[in-house]
Structure 1
Amino acid sequence: MATYTVLVTGGSGFVGSHVILQLLAAGHQVRTTVRSLAREAEMRATLARAGADAGERLRFFAADLEKDEGWAAAVEGCDYVQHVASPFPPAQPSDENELIRPAREGTLRVLRAARDAGVKRVVVTSSFAAIGYGQGQRDTPYTEADWTDPDGPAVQPYMKSKTLAERAAWEFVEHEGKGMELAVVNPVGIFGPALNGDLSTSIFLVQTMLEGKMPGTPRLWLGVVDVRDVADLQLRAMTDPAAAGERFLAVAGDAMSFHQMASVLRARLGPAGARAPKRELPDWLIRLLALFNPLAREAVPRLGIQARASNAKARSVLGWQPRSNEEAIVASAESLMALGLVTSA
């Protein structure tokens, strides 16, 4: 099997770390960008705990999505780039440009550096946020042909940032790419094994349920995919000739309600899952809470909406076979407990 030199942006993040693990396991030379090289020792320790034998096959470069410095050196001599880095805030900013600008400009900065270095293909980690919002409830599943309407109802800054960044990437490659290829992976809610205490929003949801900090679940649904399967799809999209110029939805199956997630935790974990919420809260109560709780306020426009998405393209074109929703949810919980990140009552 051929091996390559691959740059992973945002390697310290949840998805980026798993992409690095799989690239190393496949024998590739890996580079990754971090905002500060002070994180190298901590990242190497995290990867080592996860079983990676990185050694000299992993190199670190300092680069920031909002600055030009460092990108040319990071991408020099690379065959491929996995552009995973993107801002994801715990709460929506008051100024949407705080998210949109670094997401869009950062993506273009990486693409320019990759093109100038003669990189063959860039795989961008986008999101279902760029596909399935701004259109209300619909009965048919979303596919890669769909796009979020950035000006649609209840489209929050994060969704808008992912949509505009991905649109900009496609336009850049078409008009300025000079033959460089682009493939895009669009994951739904990403679960699976956490590697350290730097938790993604989805894993934080599982942690909150396990710790009994959620008295009941709002009527919200979320697509589910395991982070290991996202990384697998990223690698397939990197080298398969059929992936050039294509988007791929990363979703395991039907969307799950928060209530179903809590039920899985209780059923599969026994006593360790006993504090997961048992009640589903009525919509009127969430709307009342929204008057003074920003998280409830963000939930209100999505109450009762089940956005289904199809993984048929990733399966048929790239032979992708994801784990089940339940496996991804349980893996999140088990990793949190193994890392000592679930506080007792």
Structure 2
Amino acid sequence: MTVLVTGGTGFVGSHSVAALLAAGHRVRLLVRDPARVPAALRPLGIDPAAVEVVTGDVTDPDAVATAVRGCAAALHAASVYSFDTRDHARMRTVNVRGTELVLGAAVAAGLDPVVHVSSFGALVPAHRTPITPDAEVGAPRETYLDSKARADRVARRHQAEGAPVVVTYPLAALGPHDPHLGDQTARLRNALRGLMPVWPRGGFPVGDVRDLARLHAAVLESGRGPRRYLGPGRYVDTREYLDVLRRVTGRALPAVRLPAAAMLPVGALTGLVQRVTPVHLPAEYGAIYTCAVAGPVDTTATDRLLDGAAVPFERTVADTVAWLVATGRISPRQAGRLAAAAPRPSGHPAAGPR
């Protein structure tokens, strides 16, 4: 089938495009800048000519209507994922209004399924744990998470009306080949560069972007109606996160862990300063808040759909670090023992031992 993909030049979107093509689907991308397509897809072994490209923005009704026409299904992955306070206005527009337009047009055109890529963050603070895909939409006190919760309510309204909308809730995604060095990859990179000596206690659910891409290919079945799935992965405490990073690199990476509640005021102050500072400040309120309110996740339905084959967290971290050093984003010294990791890790959704 021909699948419309929004956000196809992003981290999750580009890996999902690779998985859809591998599954035999035809892909049409709705992108603001076609020049970004080769840079996003070629590292994954995809010839840009293998996809159809429509130029436009998800907040433009005419562009969305043009992109939807002639497609059988849609994967709406376009989103501004950032805890940077300078991005607040853009994420409210793209994450909420873009979702309203894309899902509305796709449902009206009879596409089946229409997959909305949400976030586990739309479900926090959780009323109970472990968090399930059918948990209530949260009311988070942070702009990015709030925008995803609002977008999730749009998707659930369509589901309540019987539309074949499938919602996926990615966990914090890591893995190789991140076209724009998104929030999670940047945080791992900052830790290796010594820019994060203080971490909040608590943790967050983490998954491999290649597994998430496999999920998006797996849910593209028509006639099955509304469904919801958490992204593959598991909850990782920040202590374990740092221990794994130390283990795969062989570096000491000294860090202090403080109660998340005590760090929230610092994060809020940093956010105010960030509005007038051109240099990105790593102490983000949203990241600290997530550690404070996130909890374990129940991925039973997802594991069943994917036969339980998920990339181990340590392998995900190692592949991410190896890619960062192979592409010059960190120095060999910062990569530690992984500086000698020879060949560059594959970005194919099925790559790597399970």
CA drift of 1:173 comes to 4.9
Q: How does 1:5-84 map to 2 (within 5 A)?
A: 5-37=2-34, 39=35, 42-55=36-49, 57-84=50-77
Structure 2 CA distance, aligned partners of 1:103 and 1:335? 29
Once the two structures are superposed, what CA deviation does each residue of 1:292-320 show, in whole Å capped at 9, x if it has no partner? 42335445555655511110011235545
The letter of the residue matching 1:329 is V
3-state secondary structure, aligned to 1:322: coil
C-alpha distance in structure 1 between counterparts of 2:65 and 2:266, whole Å: 48
Residue by residue over 1:239-287, the C-alpha shift from the partner in whole angstroms, topping out at 9 and shown as x without a partner, is 2755x3111011412x2122322211221123xxx26344334668736
Secondary structure of the structure 2 residue equivalent to 1:223: strand
Give percent identity, aligned residues only: 29
Taking a change above 3 Å as real, the CA distance of residues 332 and 118 of structure 1, as seen in their structure-2 partners, is: same
- Offset at residue 166 of structure 1 (A): 1.5
Pair 1:212 & 2:194 matched: yes
Which residue pairs with 2:256 in the alignment?
Answer: 279
Alignment-derived partner of residue 142 in structure 1: 131
Deviation, 1:93, is 5.6
TM-score (norm: length of structure 2): 0.81
Deviation at 1:43, TM superposition (A): 2.2
Note closer, same or farther for the CA distance 1:58–1:166 as it changes in structure 2 (3 Å cut): same
Bigger mean CA deviation after superposition, 231-240 or 76-85: 231-240
Distance 1:276 1:34, change over 3 A: farther
Mapping for residues 198-209 of structure 1, pairs under 5 Å: 198-209=180-191
- Kindly provide the CA deviation profile for residues 208-265 of structure 1, in whole angstroms up to 9, marking residues without a partner as x: 11111112322140111000111111111112755x3111011412x21223222112
| Count of equivalent residues | 322
Report SS of the residue matched to 2:116: strand
Which string of whole-angstrom CA distances, capped at 9 and with x for unpartnered residues, describes residues 115-140 of structure 1? 343322111101101213265xx5x3
AA in 1 matched with 2:51: L
* Distance in 2 separating the partners of 1:331 and 1:192: 6
Describe the shift of the 1:33–1:134 C-alpha distance in structure 2 as closer, same or farther (beyond 3 A): same
Q: Cα distance 1:291–1:167, how it changes in 2: closer, same or farther (>3 A)?
A: closer
What's the CA shift for 1:80? 1.0
Q: Distance in 2 between matches of 1:82 and 1:246?
A: 14
User: Which position in structure 2 is the counterpart of 1:188?
Assistant: 171
Tell me the amino acid that sits aligned with residue 192 of structure 1: G
User: Which of residues 113, 130, 135 in structure 1 aligns to 2:122?
Assistant: 130
Maintained 8 Å contact 2:6/2:75: yes
Cα deviation digits, residues 2-25 of structure 1 (max 9, x gap)? xx2111101111000001111122
2:220 equivalent to 1:238: yes
| CA 1:266–1:52: 2 relative to 1, 3 Å | same
Q: Secondary structure at the match of 2:199?
A: coil
Report SS of the residue matched to 2:195: coil
Cα gap change, 1:320 to 1:238, in 2 (>3 Å): farther
Q: Name stretches of at least 5 consecutive residues in structure 1 with no aligned partner.
A: none
Amino acid at match of 2:38: R
Distance 2:218 2:123 in 1: 21
1:168 maps to 2:162: no
**Partners of 1:268 and 1:330 within 8 A in 2:** yes
102-111 vs 122-131, greater mean Cα deviation: 102-111
1:18-59: CA deviation from partner (whole Å, max 9, x where unpaired): 01111122232111111123x2xx42244222212443x301
State the partner residue of 2:322: 334
Give per-residue Cα distances to partners, 1:139-159, cap 9 Å, x unaligned. x31112212332xxx521222
Assess, with a 3 A threshold, how the Cα gap between structure 1 residues 112 and 342 changes in structure 2: closer, same or farther: same
Task: Verify the 8 A CA contact 2:121 2:290 in the aligned structure 1.
Answer: no
Quickly say closer, same or farther: Cα 1:149–1:265, change in 2 above 3 A: closer
SS in 1 for 2:256: coil
Structure having greater relative contact order (Cα 8 Å, sep ≥ 6): 2
Letter of the 1:232 counterpart: R
Q: In the alignment, which residue of structure 1 is the partner of 2:239? A: 259
Q: For the residues of structure 2 that align with 1:311 and 1:134, how far apart are their CA atoms?
A: 15
| Most deviating of 114-123 and 75-84 | 114-123
Q: TM-score, normalised by structure 1?
A: 0.83
In angstroms, what is the RMSD of aligned CA positions? 2.7
